[in-house]
Chain A
Amino acid sequence: GAVVSQHPSWVICKSGTSVKIECRSLDFQATTMFWYRQFPKQSLMLMATSNEGSKATYEQGVEKDKFLINHASLTLSTLTVTSAHPEDSSFYICSARVYEDTEAFFGQGTRLTVV
């Protein structure tokens, strides 16, 4: 299967600062990327869907000004958590797919801890 690389794998930041998470498709061009959030022992909750070159579509209840998503190229999407607070601590996972394909490939996830 195709490879999606997510960086960093884990990050600790101070409350009030911003942190950026990168999601790269290494061997294919991803027309669509997805960002999920997963709390401990829970399922994946979709935060937003983005197509290359256009604005992301956020799920209901997700603050678009807090979770900035940029999909500037067919191989890179970034999620920036702005003014992070301890309640933003979570596991964030990205996935990517080619438009014609039904399968989405997942990154390895990023564990964010806000102290």
Chain B
Amino acid sequence: AQTVTQSQPEMSVQEAETVTLSCTYDTSESDYYLFWYKQPPSRQMILVIRQEAYKQQNATENRFSVNFQKAAKSFSLKISDSQLGDAAMYFCAYRSGALNFGNEKLTFGTGTRLTIIP
């Protein structure tokens, strides 16, 4: 079974600075997807960024980028120019690449609470 580990329960960063959230995972599969979701106080889960394991290039979405190290099974999220609206819980998630019923579920890490200091 796959596992996802987020070792930082809480992080804080000064507004406009850069912060990196860590995530490691364990899997025996070669084809999979990794995601970062944001859950603000409203508790609506919002997809921040996703990475396909077969792609060597790290995914980027505006101020959000990932450092995907497949051999090390590491998938960190970097937030540049942090803004007050970035304050939220951030969850790392894993999904198998096999498109079979039963493999579609997301496995979540325990989350990192990010605080933005004005």
Do A and B make up one complex?
yes
B65-118 interface (Cβ within 8 A of A): 91, 95, 99, 101-102, 104-111
In-complex Cβ contact of A91 among B43, B46, B50 (8 A): B43
Tell me whether A43 and B95 are in contact in the complex, defined as CB-CB below 8 angstroms, given that A91-B43, A95-B45 are known contacts.
no
| Contact status B91-A51, CB under 8 Å | no
What is the predominant secondary structure among interface residues of chain A facing chain B?
A: strand
| Contact status B108-A1, CB under 8 Å | no
A39-60 interface (Cβ within 8 A of B): 42-44, 46, 49, 51, 57
A90-114 interface (Cβ within 8 A of B): 91, 93, 95, 97, 99-100, 102-104, 106, 108-109
Least distance between A49 CB and chain B CB atoms (Å)? 6
B30-45 interface (Cβ within 8 A of A): 33, 35, 37, 42-45
Ranked 7 nearest A-B pairs via Cβ: A106-B45, A43-B108, A43-B110, A108-B44, A109-B43, A44-B108, A102-B33
Which residues on A are within 8 Å of B, measured CB to CB? 1, 32, 34, 38, 42-44, 46, 49, 51, 57, 91, 93, 95, 97, 99-100, 102-104, 106, 108-109
Residue contacts A-B, CB under 8 angstroms, 24 given: A1-B47, A32-B101, A32-B104, A34-B106, A42-B110, A42-B111, A43-B108, A43-B109, A44-B45, A44-B106, A44-B108, A46-B105, A49-B101, A91-B43, A95-B106, A102-B33, A102-B52, A103-B47, A103-B50, A104-B104, A106-B45, A108-B43, A109-B43, A109-B44
